[in-house]
Amino acid sequence: MKEIPLLYREKKECCGCTACYAICPKNAIKMVEDEEGFEYPKIDENNCIRCYKCLKVCPFKQLNI
Ligand code: SF4
Ligand code: SF4
């Protein structure tokens, strides 16, 4: 089984745009509010089919891949 995608290592690598959340075909991503009220995506490992659409759509990942 392939790895669960790593959407961000640090919060500064995610702007909370929800593009990954919107594109996930399995609804495996939830936006979870942190202690400051900003929402970050969290992947449900059990629903994720490792299609990596979330990584492809992420504007931050486009900079690195
Ligand atoms: S890899 Fe695919 S199924 Fe898994 S969270 Fe990303 S978009 Fe959803
Ligand atoms: S697409 Fe990238 S920047 Fe946007 S919420 Fe998802 S991980 Fe964060």
Contact in structure between 27 and 33 (CB atoms under 8 Å):
no
pTM as predicted: 0.92
Nearest CA to ligand 1 atom 6: 54
* Region for 25 from its dihedrals, namely left if φ exceeds 0, alpha if ψ lies in -120 to 50, beta otherwise: alpha
Residue 26, ligand 1, Cβ within 6 A: yes
Contact in structure between 61 and 13 (CB atoms under 8 Å):
no
Residue 51, ligand 2, Cβ within 6 A: no
Question: Which ligand 1 atom minimizes the distance to the CA of 53?
Answer: 7
Pick the CATH number of 11-63 from 3.40.50.10490, 3.60.150.10, 2.60.40.420, 3.30.70.20: 3.30.70.20
Q: Where are the domains of the chain?
A: 11-63
pLDDT (0 to 100) of residue 63 = 66
Q: What is the pLDDT along the chain (65 residues), one digit of tens a residue?
A: 789 999 999 999 999 999 999 999 999 999 999 999 999 999 999 999 999 999 999 998 876 54
pLDDT (0 to 100) of residue 1 = 75
How far is 2 from 49, CA to CA, in rounded Å? 9
pLDDT (0 to 100) of residue 61 = 83
